[in-house]
Amino acid sequence: MLSRKKFLGLAGAVGSLKIIDRKAYSMENKPSLSRIKMATIGAPDIQDIEKWYTKWLNYRVTERANVSEKMADSWGCPNTAGKPFILMHSAGTNDVYIRAVEVEPIKNYQPMTTWGWNAIEIIVDNIDEIHEKMLRSDFKHIGGPENLMGGTSSIRAAQYIGPAKEVIYLTCETGDRSKSTLPIPKSSIDRPFIMILAGPDLNALETFYGDHFQMEKGLRFTGAVEIISTAQKLLPTTIYPLGLLRLRENGNNIELDEYPKSTKPRPNNDGELPPGIAMTTFNVDNLDKTEVQFISEPIREYEGKRSAVFIGPAGELTELIENPRG
């Protein structure tokens, strides 16, 4: 099995590493999920989200509104109807978003301790320069910056916790970007390019997303993940099974993390989105060819495009917006 650092290098720039005892990765299946469209944060105070993200990440608010009844019902969260939300994007990419929706606080909720969407990984230009700025911010620094693969990789990353206890990774390619599978940032801090999903059974996560969306399975690794162990009060040497699924468009991935059996589903207030990273939205070619059980019939709340939401194997909310992208 690959080490974590080797795997993360493979997820980014080191595409020639061999996967032992697993099927070689290829894009021949043409995954029906084309790209990450949006990460949604369930936040007790969206004003804090706006303040932190605009000041320290240079994100821009492009919409302020309240959640419609149709959208709330589509999410299976009727009590979210009428709640305020903001929609933000980076200075470099104006059609991939981070959305913050107001939720009631959950007592004692801690990030990276429950199943579901657990982190947003954002591509950046120079993590060391950004980190110096982040140290002056209200974000809590929990790891890095460090180069992957024991310092031999050209990929460098750091991790932080935001105002809604959401985890963000800021990652950059320090080597030849023309040869990297990381997306090229169009601004100092650009768009989400990996969403990290945790659950109690890696096989179940990989099989569900791989089979339903024609995503190649087989990128697996095991390794210690110190920030997860710290959050869960485990030994830093605790080993986790992890995996990766690549979407069709370059620089769009889902990382799969298997948590210990002692972990539990994400708590949430009845009828509301869960706290932290509440939902991930992907573009899909055709909802009618997507054989998952949606919470409700598709709606047209995104500029006339159809969307629908399903509950995944770890209890996670995943939203699909129909948008054929070639």
Spatial separation of the C-alpha atoms in residues 316 and 319, rounded to whole Å: 10
What is the model's pLDDT at position 149?
A: 63
pLDDT (tens digit per residue) in 102-118: 999 999 999 999 999 99
What is the model's pLDDT at position 11?
A: 45
What is the model's pLDDT at position 87?
A: 98
Spatial separation of the C-alpha atoms in residues 137 and 131, rounded to whole Å: 10
What is the model's pLDDT at position 150?
A: 64
What is the model's pLDDT at position 153?
A: 80
Q: Is 121 exposed, middle or buried (0-12, 13-18, 19+ CB in 10 A)?
A: buried
Backbone angles phi, psi at 46, to 5 degrees: -75, -15
Spatial separation of the C-alpha atoms in residues 249 and 259, rounded to whole Å: 28
What is the model's pLDDT at position 32?
A: 96
- Predicted structure pTM score: 0.91
Tens-level pLDDT at each residue, the chain (326 residues): 333 344 444 444 322 222 323 344 444 569 999 999 999 999 999 999 999 999 999 999 999 999 999 999 999 999 999 999 999 999 999 999 999 999 999 999 999 999 999 999 999 999 999 999 999 999 999 999 998 766 678 989 999 999 999 999 999 999 999 999 899 999 999 999 999 999 999 999 999 999 999 999 888 988 888 999 999 999 999 999 999 999 999 999 999 999 999 999 999 999 999 999 999 999 999 999 999 999 999 999 999 999 999 999 999 999 999 999 97
What is the model's pLDDT at position 312?
A: 98
Spatial separation of the C-alpha atoms in residues 51 and 14, rounded to whole Å: 36
On whether the CB atoms of residues 176 and 195 are closer than 8 A, the answer is no
